[in-house]
Structure formats: C-alpha cells, structure tokens
Structure 1
C-alpha cells in the first residue's frame, strides 16, 4: 500500500512538472508571437509610408509632365507667331522687289503650312522663300543662276534677317529655356519612383512572410494550448486517483485501528482475569502469552497510527 501511494505521488509530481514545462513553452510562444505582431505592425507602417511617398512622387511626376507639355505648347505657339510675323513682313518686301502675285503666294503658302503643323520651325518656312524667288526686278537670274542657289536679292535677304516686330533679328532656332531642368527633374523623379516601387514591393513581400510566420507561431501556440489541456486533464485524473487511494487507505486504517482496539480490550480482560488470585502456573503462562500478543497488537497499532494520510 505504501509503494502504491509513493508511485501515485511520484506520478503526480511528474505530471505537475510536465504541465509547468508546457506552461513555460506556451509563455515563450506568446512572447514570440507578440514580437512578431509588433514587427508586422512596423512593416505595415513602413509600407504605408512608402506608399505615401510613391503617391507623392507620382503627383510630382504628373506636375512636371504637365509643365513640360505646357512649355512645348508655348514654344509651338511662339514658332507659329514668329512664322506669321515673318510672312507678314516678307510679303511687302517681295512685292517691292517686283515679284509677281503667283510667285509670292507660293512661298507664303509653304510658310503657312510649315507654321501650322507645329513640327517644323519657322526657319524651314523662310528657307522655302528662297528657291521660289530667284528672279530679280530686271528678270535675270539671281546670284545662284538657273543652276540653283538662294536666288533672293540682297534687299530681301537683309529684310528677312530683320523682320522681328521690334526690329531685332528674328530668332528662328528652337527655344530651349527650361527644358533641360524639367527633363532632368522628370528623369530624377522617374528613377526615384522606380526605387520607391521596388522598396514597396520588398516591404510587401517581407510583411507577407512575417504574416505567414505569425500564423505558424499561432498554430503552434494553439497546439501547445491543446497539449497543455490534455496534460491538465491527465493530471486531474491522477489527482482523483490519488485522492481515492488516500480515502481507501484512511478507511482501511480506521478499520484496522478498530480491530486493534477490540483485540487489546479482550486481551486486557483476559490478562486481568488470569492474574486474579489464586494464580497457578497454567494461568501465569497464559497471561504471559496474552501479554506478548498484546505487545504485538500495540506495535501494530503504532504502525497503523504512524501511516501517512497521503
């Protein structure tokens, strides 16, 4: 009985130790999950900041693109205005040189077409004036002869060089002010936008990986909780068994003590009867035997009373 009780106590201690280990494992898993959750929150905040920066870069790129388009439109309008001014200034000069109406209409029409499409500069339209007016006022060929050349008179060439509205030479080259800075800013914004997109993609992948890891840790935590619940149930069963064994042991001890008390009382009665005078040798021997039996019963009673309650 004592061996069984010790085995029950030892089993209960082992079960309690296993439950403590499971509780420590669960606490460690909870701490790791909390750290992963915090890291996931930081990654989401970083991804949100990168998305905000990406939107700002896209807006800046849109503004620079609109500014570039507006600048190009202004330059096209400026070229058209310069071409029209050149045509208006060249028409009376050519008329004074004695050119006929048909010859004057041809270059002016070419100049209008060049200015209206917006792709050719004003210089191309003015260059078309030269081959159309090869005849001078006396009907002879120009400096280039019939074999080709500019064919314009010195007066026409000088007039075409100064047909600006303020008397300054007409700038027929394509204006470039502001284009270099706008293009450079656009390229820089595009590069920064691509870098921000790559960083956002990397942050999204890292956040997805962290979410998967957190889900795995949560699944492990749930499994640990289930295992702890199973261990707790096993510990409860062991404790119930130990309690039942203690109760049975207490009942057995109570019965044993009751039997011992009864036997001791009977032996004492017999000893008292045998020691009453007159005492002969047979009664003395029987009393001695009863005293020995009483000693054994007392020793058994002491052992029974010293048994632990469990």
Structure 2
C-alpha cells in the first residue's frame, strides 16, 4: 500500500512538473512571437514592459496557485524573466547590469514575491466566488451584486436609446458591422453616419480582416509596428498622397495602444500634425501645403489639389484591442467588426 501511495505521489509530481514546463514553453513562444515589438525603436521601453507583463508573464504564472513552489522552479522562472528583460532594454554581453539594477529599471519584483502575491490574490478571488455561490444557493443576493446589475441595466438602456447600431446587452463599443458591409459603411459611407458624426472612423477588429481588406484597396496604409512605415518621410508622403489623390489614410495599431507613440512621431513631421488630422484642420491649404517639399515634383504643386479630392480624404485608425483607450472612443467614430457565427 505504501509503495502504491509513493508511486501515485511521484506520478502527480511529474505531472505538475510537466504542466509547469508546458506553460514556460508557451510563454517563450509568446515572447518570440512579439519580437517585432521588442526590437522596435518606436515603442517606448515602459510600453514594452507593460506588454511583457500582460502577455508573457500572465502565461508564465498561469494556475500558479496550484503549484508547489520549489526553489528550482523559481530559479528557472527568474532566469527566464531576467533574460527577457535584458533583451527588452537591449543589454547584451559584454555589457553588464546587476540584477538589482535590472529589477529597479524595469520595475520588476523577485519571482518569489510575485508568486506569493498572485497566489494570495487568486485565493482571495476563489473565496469571494465561493461565498457568492453559497449565498446564491440560499437565495440571498450578495453585497454589491445589486449595484452591478443596476449599472449594467443603465448601460443597456443607454445603448438602446443611442442610434449607434449597438446590440442590446453588448458591452463592446461602436457600430457593429460585418466585414462584407465594410465597403458600404466605411468607404462609401452609405447613410452618411460617419460624415454626420464629424469624426474619423476607428475600426476595432480582433480578426485582422479589416487590415487585410484595406491594404488591398486604394489606400495609403501604415503599420505602426513597422519601423520603415513609421519613417518621417514615409508618413509625410503617405499623408500628403492621400490628401492629394483623395484616398483613405490608414494607420494600423495592431494589438498595441500605439496612438501616443504615433502622435509623437507625426509631430516630428510637423508640429501638432496628429491633432490637425483628428480635428480635420489638416484639410486647410495653409497646413497641408507645408508638407510639400521640392523633391516631391510638380505632381504636388498647389494647383494640383482640388476640393473634390479633398472631400474624399479619410483618416482611418485600426485597433485589434476590443476595448481601446477611452479617449479614442471619444475622439473617433467607433466601428466594431463582427465575425458571423
């Protein structure tokens, strides 16, 4: 009986070890998959660290509350985290940085401390959820649940009263459209919803189909993650060409909140350029003509610009994030791309 018990315990220990290795490998794959972000010179260091914490470390600590925290496990996790941090802040051999300085610069904590905090937090959530289910089984509404339900009802009521195409009970923002309807809604603006709003469109598309659709249309497309696309001269020529020929000027932020970074880079081209695009003052001749340079040739002479093509210009922002920065939701007319089931 003792032998069977020991064998079972060894099997369970090996299974837990296998699961830890699995999530460690998954975290490594996610880190490698985001290498364009780590090597990008356009994204700020603190933004990269936020992305690491939310996308890589979250996978690394998956189900950590069920682990037996052996010292060797913490050492492996710490070693992986330190290597990733050195790569993000571009510290390579023979350059040297102490572990303490590395943690201080990247605002990281030792794995042992983070593991303890996560286990404590997850255990607190477990007890809270258990209490809610227990009270619900007795027919007692837990404290705070009533106010949450009332707040949700208020949101649904506002969505029903607002003519934005929202789906009743759906918390995702914006007008919901199928990818097949994007041509009519975005490019042709059937019904003049975008024009009447007085704002430029923000596409929220988790599938990436809208990006592919716009890349193969007659648009000037910029990927905010690609350094070549975010070159100052490329930004200037793309924007100027879209104004000159009356085409959509598309900026794709992918899965990252790159709006502030894009604004900084656009402002290097011309002071307050992003602000003038958002408020549409860029369509005034005294502003867009400042973008023209002698090497652009006669095609961009001021006599070549006309009001008809200026009226066809559009600025389109794309994000894969389902809930973007709230300030973007206020600044832009939000269009949510839905995938039919």
Alignment TM class, shorter chain as reference: under 0.3
Taking structure 2 as the reference length, the TM-score comes to 0.18
Taking structure 1 as the reference length, the TM-score comes to 0.20
Q: Which has the higher helix share?
A: 1
Q: Which has the higher strand share?
A: 2
Q: Which has the higher contact order (CA 8 A, sep 6+)?
A: 1
